[in-house]
Structure 1
Amino acid sequence: MFGLCFVYMIFSNTLSVNTPSFYPNSYSFMRLLSLFFATFLSLVNSVTLSAGVNGGKEGSPEYNARAQWLRDEKVGVFIHWNPSATIGKEISWCRTNPVYGNIGAEKYDALYKDFKGEAFNADEWITLFRESGIKYAVFVPKHHDGFAMFATKTYDYNVMKSPFGRDYIKEVSEACRKGDVRFCLYYSVLDWWNPLYSPKQGADLSGYIDKVFKPQMKELLSNYGPVGSIWFDGHWDASWTHAYAKDMEKFIRKIQPKTLLGNRLDQRYAGDPGPNCSWTGSFFNAPDAIDDYQAREVDLGKYYTERAWDSCYSLCGVNNKWSWVPPMNPVPLADIVNWLIQCIGRDGGMLLGVGPRGDGSIDPASAARMLELGAWLKINGEAVYKTRGGPWLPGTWGVSTRRGNKAYVFISKWKGTDIQLPALSMGVTSARLVGGGPATVTKTPGSITIHVDAALRKPIATIIELTLERDCMSQPVLEVPEPVNLAKGILPKVSSFWPGREKELSVTHITDGNMGTLWATEEAAREGSVSVDLGKEITISDVMLSDAPYNRTQQFSVEAQVGDTWKTLVSGTTIGGELHLNFEPVKARVFRVNILKASDTPTLTEFQIFGLPSQAAPARR
């Protein structure tokens, strides 16, 4: 996978590892190290994948028809399984890379001799996928290690020569068709086992392409039925060029013209690492670059509609655990759902990486988490499947999706009791909670306000379905103004300060937006107060408090001055590192925090008061 390529290029062939004799000597360690950092810096500036290779348009009707399934299905599974699972180390990368265990090429290349897969059952896998809400599955017939998990005639280093002795790709393809899960493939351009493949810059790969790559592509596309997409990899190696990629594209299109080809088939870098060449760190952007869909890896990027895309995430949340590498502790359901909704809100999909065990079974913890996802999708899938991102751009509040005259608002983080969104060009006729329950929408000039009772909000994401007056698919996406800290930079009034430490524990630290500074009362105090004057009356429903790192507060309240009286908005005991407090909206100019009881000298790191930028009074100090 792309995220691992840098580690390989630094360590492979530069440290004392056992590499096959057909691999050439690499550059010096310092040369590679400098290339690594240059690439890293370039990648920082290119988090979003290249969007300019197709003229900034969604494409022809023919392309849109081919890509529609990926845009509709949204949820896929990415299965990495081969003999490496028998020893519980990362597929391919543990062969010679010390970061992943470096078992040595000779030992790695012999793992297939113990590969039995005695618990493998393709139908059971597909049943699990379907019950987990999975619509398409990506399987790996060949990773960087060159071992073929299908009945290839190109060489004997394949699954049919193992004790398992069955055509894995044949069985999963047939199970997919029976189980109504779309069958897709991964394929690595690299082949670290095969002497026909050379990683040298400018190397002639025609022998490898003619004797391995093309014959294997023909086998995979001719013997296993329709293939929805191919997630290519290994395109970052110095040998691979745009010309090779275009030749392979033409070859593949003749066999299965409807198969979506991932952008990683094309040359990864505009310049390859080596003497007298540049390394840009950006995706190849020739006008004819291959870009049926963007195969992202743990990468969201921005809202992007020009090409279909998905982003893959490992179920255990660790980017170098795509195959079975115990312990494989699956992340909480909330993390998986958040990955999914962040993808679909940006008009993409999620590919969930799962590594089966050496015996071919999926471990119970992973299976259980997948079924939890399926249960969530059974309730909320109407807001996920067959939707497009928008009509509002993603923000810290959440995301949105749409289909026809329906818009779905996923609220991940409430700022106050309501959420305010810019008004669409069409009105809202009704609102409800997906999964059941009421929601109300109030129209105000230029915006709509959505209200959901606190008791009805969901722990992961609250999803509201809005029925609109007409189809909203042509509605331009709208940016949602993000609440800001209106108290930042305002000089607060405090009950006391610590004499002699006024600078170190300055009152200005309370509103400087810096979680690394704090204010303290006089040393002997066990209570204190801080008030902030916003300069004008503003409707507020959300504040944030922090008394880290000491966490001495034992009782507190937040108040607003309404007329001549102080109104208590919220109260509590401990504060801690970052405490967001929501309350019924109140219109006031001055807000106050009272520390009513503390275990030692009271401190406050931040008092933040949230509102829209348009609400802020002129800057004051």
Structure 2
Amino acid sequence: MSDVGDYVWPSDPAVLAKLKWWTDQKFGVIIHWGPYSRLGVFESWTLCQEDESWCQAPPEWRDDPEGYRAFYERLPEGFDAPAFDPDRWAEACAAAGMRYVVFTTKHHDGFAMYDTKLSDYKSTNTPLGRDVAREVFDAFRARGMGVGVYFSKADWHHPDYWAPGLPTPDRHANHADPVRWQRFGEFAHGQIEELLSGYGPVDVLWLDAGWVKPPHEDLDMPRLAARARELQPGILVVDRAVHGPHEDYHTPEQTVPERLQPFPWESCLTLGPYWYTFGPGETYKSAAEIVHTLCRIVARGGNLLLGIGPDHTGALPDAVHERLTEIGAWLDVHGEALYGTRPCEPYECDDLVFTRRADTLYAIGLRTDLDQVSVPVAYPPQTVRLLGHPGPLSWSAGDGAVTVRLPEGHRAAHAFALSLTMPPAPPPEP
């Protein structure tokens, strides 16, 4: 293994092959959903008493955390989600050009969105009565998409993580009892084994709750990762924010690195303002913003994992469907400039970003009001195409650049992409 900063490259050939596959996909979706959708709150985080405005309980419960916890843990009793239709989710995401899904099988609140045999706190023990994760994974796989299992290493419902009768001032385990912790570790390993042995092919084990790590909350990641790969050879293990040999790619959250990164990475960003909220005036990023962000991420060597969430009925909001449809329409035309490509020099220049596949250079323009564009190249291309435009282009090469006249009347929504077929590099002058 070789290190790049705090990244450790895998040595297992099957993992490296999966990592290459994953790098080619470029665009995925992460779906947060659970009984907390009945409140429209910031998922499990309202149970946490840390002094953060974004994770506070509803106002009527803020002076009674124990009462709120009891109320929260009764939410599954009314979780019926009459509009839950994973096929519709998968259709919308596939049409948006997304290539893989990461689904929250269990968030920090400990509620299993699958039929675990290790706890009664699960989706099959609700009025909905369905193995949600199984149905979601099957629906997305049926459309040729990869599958990632989101699993929180923390569990605020389990008595061996938050021990009853002790204060819970923050997100961490509230005890230092080694016997309790051993039991909790075996429980967590057991649930992960269920998901990796009984739910079909899994491409990524996406472990959240980065504070659960040695020395105080050690889940024995070497054993966990080894068992994961016995059950799912080549699976990518992503122990988020715990940099080292069990984080096969980095996952910057709600941010995009400013430059090319020398290791695999994925920005996980939300379409709305938070990971999960529903309320009056909910705002979403525009399709143009997502397209531009995706292009910049790919040009910097990363993937985009876009976060969405169904409402309490199980339906994706109309505004989410609208954004996904618009993004998909752009990718239908321009996706060849992103999928399966790699970054290439000059990476970014003015409002252009660059990718490459074999002998084809792609220059993606993030402004659509230009009449012509100058693309820096070391030597003239053989051909120049404008994706989505069937006709020839007027272009000229010289002074280390190709100047392309963009056709009148052809204005792509959000961004345009030029495809330049480059000849083999000429031999150096003697």
What TM-score do the two structures reach when normalised by structure 2?
0.84
Q: Partner residue of 2:43?
A: 91
Distance apart, 1:443 and its partner CA: 2.6
CA–CA distance in 2 between the matches of 1:182 and 1:299? 23
Count of aligned pairs: 398
Q: Partner residue of 1:335?
A: 289
How does 1:526-545 map onto structure 2 within 5 Å? Answer: none
Matched, 1:219 2:194: yes
CA–CA distance in 2 between the matches of 1:132 and 1:459? 15
CA–CA distance in 2 between the matches of 1:422 and 1:102? 53
What TM-score do the two structures reach when normalised by structure 1?
0.59
Would you say the 8 A contact 2:368–2:415 is kept in 1? no
Alignment deviations for residues 340-363 of structure 1 (CA, whole Å, 9 cap, x no partner): 111111121111111101111111
SS at structure 2 position matched to 1:336: helix
Distance apart, 1:431 and its partner CA: 0.7
Tell me which amino acid in the other structure corresponds to 2:406: V
Q: Partner residue of 2:75?
A: 111
Q: Partner residue of 2:336?
A: 382
Matched, 1:247 2:223: yes
Q: Of 66, 69, 76, which aligns to 2:18?
A: 66
Q: Partner residue of 1:167?
A: 131
SS at structure 1 position matched to 2:251: strand
Matched, 1:456 2:420: no
Tell me which amino acid in the other structure corresponds to 2:123: V
CA–CA distance in 1 between the matches of 2:263 and 2:204? 14
Distance apart, 1:402 and its partner CA: 1.1
Distance apart, 1:392 and its partner CA: 2.4
Matched, 1:137 2:101: yes
Cα distance, 1:456–1:179 mapped onto 2, change above 3 Å? closer
How does 1:104-503 map onto structure 2 within 5 Å? Answer: 104-197=68-161, 199=172, 203=176, 204=178, 205-210=181-186, 212-237=187-212, 244-264=220-240, 267=242, 284=243, 288-304=244-260, 306-316=262-272, 318=273, 320-322=274-276, 324=278, 327-413=281-367, 418-424=372-378, 427-436=380-389, 437-453=391-407, 455-470=409-424
CA–CA distance in 1 between the matches of 2:425 and 2:72? 56
Tell me which amino acid in the other structure corresponds to 2:193: K
Alignment deviations for residues 489-543 of structure 1 (CA, whole Å, 9 cap, x no partner): xxxxxxxxxxxxxxxxxxxxxxxxxxxxxxxxxxxxxxxxxxxxxxxxxxxxxxx
Tell me which amino acid in the other structure corresponds to 2:106: K
Would you say the 8 A contact 2:41–2:276 is kept in 1? no
Distance apart, 1:404 and its partner CA: 1.4
Alignment deviations for residues 457-500 of structure 1 (CA, whole Å, 9 cap, x no partner): 4352121111111499xxxxxxxxxxxxxxxxxxxxxxxxxxxx
Q: Partner residue of 1:564?
A: none
Cα distance, 1:415–1:391 mapped onto 2, change above 3 Å? farther
Give unmatched runs, 5+ long, in structure 1. 1-49, 268-283, 473-621
CA–CA distance in 2 between the matches of 1:96 and 1:60? 38
Q: Which has the higher contact order (CA 8 A, sep 6+)?
A: 2
CA–CA distance in 1 between the matches of 2:295 and 2:127? 42
CA–CA distance in 1 between the matches of 2:218 and 2:372? 51
Would you say the 8 A contact 2:40–2:276 is kept in 1? no
Q: Which moved more, 1:291-300 or 1:354-363?
A: 291-300
Cα distance, 1:455–1:297 mapped onto 2, change above 3 Å? same
Tell me which amino acid in the other structure corresponds to 2:321: A
CA–CA distance in 2 between the matches of 1:119 and 1:415? 42
Cα distance, 1:163–1:333 mapped onto 2, change above 3 Å? same
> By percentage of residues, which structure has more strand?
1
Would you say the 8 A contact 1:149–1:167 is kept in 2? yes
Alignment deviations for residues 111-134 of structure 1 (CA, whole Å, 9 cap, x no partner): 111100111111121112222212
Q: Which moved more, 1:228-237 or 1:243-252?
A: 243-252
Would you say the 8 A contact 1:432–1:440 is kept in 2? no
CA RMSD in angstroms comes to 2.8
Alignment deviations for residues 568-587 of structure 1 (CA, whole Å, 9 cap, x no partner): xxxxxxxxxxxxxxxxxxxx
Q: Partner residue of 1:560?
A: none
Percent identical among aligned pairs is 30
CA–CA distance in 1 between the matches of 2:11 and 2:260? 13
CA–CA distance in 2 between the matches of 1:237 and 1:263? 10
Q: Of 50, 57, 69, which aligns to 1:102?
A: 57
Q: Of 41, 62, 82, which aligns to 2:34?
A: 82
Cα distance, 1:327–1:70 mapped onto 2, change above 3 Å? farther
Larger Rg: 1
Distance apart, 1:167 and its partner CA: 0.5
Would you say the 8 A contact 1:313–1:350 is kept in 2? yes
CA–CA distance in 1 between the matches of 2:40 and 2:201? 32
Cα distance, 1:327–1:247 mapped onto 2, change above 3 Å? farther
Alignment deviations for residues 362-401 of structure 1 (CA, whole Å, 9 cap, x no partner): 1112112111111111111111211112242124422111
SS at structure 2 position matched to 1:261: strand
CA–CA distance in 2 between the matches of 1:81 and 1:243? 25
Distance apart, 1:95 and its partner CA: 2.4
CA–CA distance in 2 between the matches of 1:446 and 1:127? 44
Tell me which amino acid in the other structure corresponds to 1:294: H
Matched, 1:52 2:5: yes
Would you say the 8 A contact 2:330–2:413 is kept in 1? no
CA–CA distance in 1 between the matches of 2:279 and 2:252? 22
Alignment deviations for residues 219-249 of structure 1 (CA, whole Å, 9 cap, x no partner): 0001110111122211125766677333322
SS at structure 1 position matched to 2:80: coil
Cα distance, 1:171–1:429 mapped onto 2, change above 3 Å? same
Q: Which moved more, 1:340-349 or 1:411-420?
A: 411-420
SS at structure 2 position matched to 1:392: strand
Would you say the 8 A contact 1:292–1:307 is kept in 2? no
CA–CA distance in 2 between the matches of 1:365 and 1:415? 26
Alignment deviations for residues 591-614 of structure 1 (CA, whole Å, 9 cap, x no partner): xxxxxxxxxxxxxxxxxxxxxxxx
